Structure 1
């Protein structure tokens, strides 16, 4: 009697750790103080300290520096200024870092001209920090003061089209249809000017650099506060004519950056300059007020015109923006494009211009351009919904677009509609009374509910990683990427562990060192997908080597099995079709006699997908505010932020990212504003006491929803990133909720008491 033997079914063991809420492995080091930041590292031999002297004027020229008076103080080692800084060839060629805008970048201590208030004009180096600070405070400098202008409105007549070519800048979409005629004919229309003034990053860790002079030629270890060690290395190596071995940049932990650390800041140049000239270890740390001289979200004025028909369908959209830049660089942001991406409208026109004023170059700041543009368009859309007699949420769904109108491309994925529905359900939007000033709480406070949407690029950058599997079974993966608090350490550990089926305890991820494989700056929400894909590629390369070694073992159960037909799980390599055909990775390593198995991996954007698809993450934000109409005080009491951002690698750290974004959105809406005194040409509230940001008492309930979304087009690992998207729409939703509560529409941020009263 013959017997049929069934083929074992394909079984996939559940060994996924990607997508699980795993805690940060570096968490204990951070809370215990063991984690070292740029200004905390020990050095070889004694350490000298540098303190930066900042210009008190906004424009002019240094005529004399009385350095001899300071050099006479015992313990003062040197005063660096344009008078004694050596000629640097790459400075003369206006060397740019990886994320520099167009124009000629600022060159510290290069010339006597003053181009902005708080410009660094000297560096005093002394034996101790206290002495360096004192000597800097008594250093006398004479200036010739020139006429200046720091007022955007005054400079507006000299506005010009933003130059193309800056990384990340997308020129405004081409016009469609006839906006003028459509606007004139439409029954419902809105026109308004939307303004926010300069906002500053204010990360907790101030910019600082510790240069460890190793005494071997020009060899240095440079510990820098940055969002991209490789970018700083390229900048420093080119300017000073150093090799990569001589200028090793290390940045293991970054105490917040939000975009301020994308470019090398001037303290790293000064610290390296001093170390090279003095042949000594040097530390330079900025103070809080000096942090206001290192870039900001640019003051921007936006004009919007919207119109709809009687049913609420958009007929016309015009969105124009005017932003500031410095006199020497053309900092650009993608501001107006998001309006065209979010909504379907037959007649549209967009414009984005810059004008030069006497300030330092603005800088990318969390969701650059999009945070600015989304406030304006989402406020205007809300206002038009009332004019058209439609619920603000229904109005957005009515004008929903399933393709990108600006590029005539399909989205790689888009679940904004599900964000609307799931967020509305969680928030209880159906209980909203549509009439402004119609809702009050038990204490008589006016209650308002607002909604807004957001959109952010899902982009990838080139990245590389290295994986080393030791004989004891421990896997170490490395990449020169950064972690400014986003959770890079943990999500890369998860990716590596899952790819090779190892327990998390057997995996270590290392970052922030230019001796590691190169990675892009951490910004743009591209770290998770770019570096994550490179980590997976490196680990798969190790896996292929493991499989070959396993197949060399006597009577190998994996003989003849292709890599595509195996799975790595539970510390084993198993055949997909019969998981009993299995070899333990520990046994493979023992049998091989190899001390380690290592491989490098890389990843980058798919140019074909970039041509064929529009790739974005989306969110919908619902906000409740309570307003005391006698005092004009506003409290954000509830927020629901529903996010569709592809695969979520770690819902715990991703939720933390969105929470931080919501808090910042609340700060942008109600508090954050740098006061630029145009008579002095400087920001006058350059401290934590007067530059207001939310504190614990300002933040109530925040609910985060991650809408399930698969997108292998946007990235090979299905990830889009959540760093920016969680902030978008929040400021507009707050302003819209305030209108619903009070009946007053405020178009200028921050929405302070005086504007409401």
Structure 2
């Protein structure tokens, strides 16, 4: 039996790191492995007799495949097989693709399933060869005959077809019914604004290309190294789609080079690589190109209308917000776009609405802060417009309408330190010195403007399991099938476990990224720390009880009547809280009991009854300074202050990096990330990083992050929420508002490219 590569060495803290309590800034324990090349990603796993697969994509947007000419491709030396819908391995019936366990729920696209072409760039064939070069060359020789059909990819031209979504995915909250009389209140108010907004398509561009390496053992077992945000999600998908027993499939994702939503669902390289392995009974690797990564989903194009009305003093009287977004013909993709407008500010009259238009494109996919990124952009730009209309400072308008409880349902917030975000962010930025009118300050050829916006995102908790085992030599190994997409999961989970048992960080190993580990949700929605972290804490709490029982059951009679509140775990010892001299080494406890190790399992189930009584959210206040050259149309974001309220911050170092990353992405969304479509062909045209500009070092200047103190024991036992999404929300709106303050021009479509500034 041939051996497949073992699970990679799990990163641990550098020797001598010592005790690091949560709340302390701690470098990533996986950092050394990544910068030295020891960390292996999905496309880097070696295998004996590895076959390389290259995908052939459709050149039409809609139609049917009439046939293939494969002679030239199959004549290339080294080519083993060309898979199409005509000769692929058996896949189970269509219904299996509709199971809700394939997260996010819906009707995932089925590659090579039939002759129908549903979007431009759809995979239509897979060339399998002994070398990557042979497979790539042969893929260019595959000829496909099509019968084309009329397609529609233009959302703006199709808005009249907008409809209510047919089926809501799990976790989606439909817009609530009208509150009060929003139309009447709007008509009667002293100040009114009405604005239309457009958000263009954005594409994911994580550094790591999407790849799957399927390593086939002699007994048919498949070990799959996949770029995914959930190893168990991918394993479930493969097992059910191909009818393979669970024991026959292991999925691993020890290291993931970024994803932020693009890896929530299995992307099409995964089933294609499995098809190749099943067809050839060999190990197969499929890596998508950067161009192909523009073919499997994107942040949806969206049009919105926002109407706000206020009294003379700025008191909001009416909020009216509707959105129309694209979806695919395959399924209804939905996001929470407009609901935020009924939650963020106190108002008695609210209307929110959301519809979709099905187009001949791939289903959109979640992208960092899905829905909120563009939904709150429209609301926050409209609030800035209203402030100008009323003649009040934009921050003062928000404080005037501050909501102490959720205006949509009256529920209290579990914690809400947004007011403190406003205060500290404004103080750090110097907002009090802002000129009240636009076009007040110019330096050289550039106008200088200041803008601000509010951010909000859900604070979620799911269910998860964790396993913890303390060994006789003092090593603690904790495991859960979590994922680290670069957010710091390895580090913060190790910190939680180390603190729970009072161990030096280097004695703790956290295992993740393996479908055989205890169940964990996909890494998404800024919920991993509150979910998996709470499970880790729960498992370690069980170990604490076992250790106290060992102490009480030995000659250490001082512990006989002690409870957990009476003892402390520190420096690898257990001691009575009021008697430091009673300290016993944990290794001594295990040795005296004759135990090689003790272990505990924990199932975290959210306290739904308690949590439902509250609105759980993270908040932010973003302040921005821009410089605008109207002649060149250039916008430079010179300063950003992002004040964040997201519960207890367990690792300020990695949390700060998350917020900076969100700010950078927000700058890209506001100014740079522009997908161009040619609707004649139904195709995205600038499908690479040479023509699709993402923010780089030269685009980013001073980014200042501050965390406001919060401790939310409703969201999690750790008091933590999550910071992945909140760093992005509000950034693009603050930039748009700053551009208006600089120039007096209100630009309501993103990205704000130079032509729009010059116009």
Category of TM-score, reference length = shorter chain: over 0.9
SS of residue matched to 1:138: coil
Aligned position for 1:17: 21
For the pair 1:141 / 2:144, whether they are aligned, the reply is yes
Deviations 1:14-41 (A, max 9, x none): 9661110011111011001110000001
Between the two proteins, the alignment pairs up a number of residues equal to 741
Task: Report deviation, 1:90.
Answer: 4.3
Aligned position for 1:195: 198
Task: Report deviation, 1:513.
Answer: 0.4
Task: Report deviation, 1:162.
Answer: 2.2
Aligned position for 2:214: 211
Instruction: Write the distance in 1 (CA, Å) between the matches of 2:547 and 2:611.
Output: 34
Task: Report deviation, 1:105.
Answer: 2.4
Aligned position for 2:484: 483
Give the alignment of 1:268-417 within 5 angstroms. 268-417=270-419
Q: TM-score, normalised by structure 1?
A: 0.96
Task: Report deviation, 1:610.
Answer: 2.6
Aligned position for 1:230: 232
Q: 1:102 to 1:354 in 2, by over 3 A?
A: farther
Cα contact 1:557–1:583 (8 A) shared by 2:
no
Aligned position for 2:79: 76
Aligned position for 1:445: 446
Query: What residue ranges of structure 1 are gaps of 5+ in the alignment?
Result: 1-13
| Between 716-725 and 541-550, the greater mean CA deviation after superposition | 541-550
Q: TM-score, normalised by structure 2?
A: 0.96
Task: Report deviation, 1:101.
Answer: 5.9
Task: Report deviation, 1:94.
Answer: 3.0
Aligned position for 1:31: 35
SS of residue matched to 2:499: helix
Deviations 1:168-215 (A, max 9, x none): 211112211111111111111110111111100111111000011111
Aligned position for 1:611: 612
Aligned position for 1:585: 586
Instruction: Write the distance in 2 (CA, Å) between the matches of 1:417 and 1:99.
Output: 39
Aligned position for 1:7: none
Aligned position for 1:472: 473
SS of residue matched to 1:122: strand
Aligned position for 1:454: 455
Q: 1:444 to 1:277 in 2, by over 3 A?
A: closer
| Between 560-569 and 358-367, the greater mean CA deviation after superposition | 560-569
Task: Report deviation, 1:509.
Answer: 1.0
Task: Report deviation, 1:556.
Answer: 3.6
Instruction: Write the distance in 1 (CA, Å) between the matches of 2:612 and 2:653.
Output: 33
Task: Report deviation, 1:163.
Answer: 3.8
SS of residue matched to 2:347: coil
Task: Report deviation, 1:89.
Answer: 2.0
Task: Report deviation, 1:631.
Answer: 1.6
Aligned position for 2:12: none
Instruction: Write the distance in 2 (CA, Å) between the matches of 1:178 and 1:559.
Output: 66
Instruction: Write the distance in 2 (CA, Å) between the matches of 1:555 and 1:697.
Output: 63
Instruction: Write the distance in 2 (CA, Å) between the matches of 1:576 and 1:332.
Output: 52
SS of residue matched to 1:230: helix
Instruction: Write the distance in 1 (CA, Å) between the matches of 2:258 and 2:609.
Output: 35
Aligned position for 1:506: 507
Cα contact 1:557–1:582 (8 A) shared by 2:
no
Deviations 1:285-323 (A, max 9, x none): 000100011110000000010000000000011000000
Cα contact 1:609–1:714 (8 A) shared by 2:
no
Task: Report deviation, 1:280.
Answer: 0.3
Aligned-residue RMSD, C-alpha = 1.4
For the pair 1:245 / 2:285, whether they are aligned, the reply is no
Task: Report deviation, 1:97.
Answer: 5.6
Cα contact 2:99–2:106 (8 A) shared by 1:
no
For the pair 1:544 / 2:548, whether they are aligned, the reply is no
Instruction: Write the distance in 1 (CA, Å) between the matches of 2:133 and 2:445.
Output: 54
SS of residue matched to 2:581: coil
Task: Report deviation, 1:424.
Answer: 0.2
Task: Report deviation, 1:343.
Answer: 0.5
Aligned position for 1:650: 651
SS of residue matched to 1:727: coil
Task: Report deviation, 1:72.
Answer: 2.9
Instruction: Write the distance in 2 (CA, Å) between the matches of 1:113 and 1:164.
Output: 23
Aligned position for 1:419: 421
Cα contact 2:56–2:126 (8 A) shared by 1:
yes
Task: Report deviation, 1:153.
Answer: 2.1
SS of residue matched to 1:598: strand
Cα contact 1:101–1:331 (8 A) shared by 2:
no
Aligned position for 1:11: none
| Between 600-609 and 131-140, the greater mean CA deviation after superposition | 600-609
Cα contact 2:25–2:653 (8 A) shared by 1:
yes
Give the alignment of 1:123-202 within 5 angstroms. 123-202=126-205
Cα contact 2:500–2:540 (8 A) shared by 1:
yes
Cα contact 1:96–1:105 (8 A) shared by 2:
no
SS of residue matched to 1:89: coil
Task: Report deviation, 1:592.
Answer: 1.8
Deviations 1:725-748 (A, max 9, x none): 011100000000000000000000
Deviations 1:508-567 (A, max 9, x none): 111100111111111100001101001111111122222222222224431222234322
| Between 247-256 and 596-605, the greater mean CA deviation after superposition | 596-605
| Between 360-369 and 175-184, the greater mean CA deviation after superposition | 175-184
Deviations 1:559-587 (A, max 9, x none): 22223432211211122343433321121
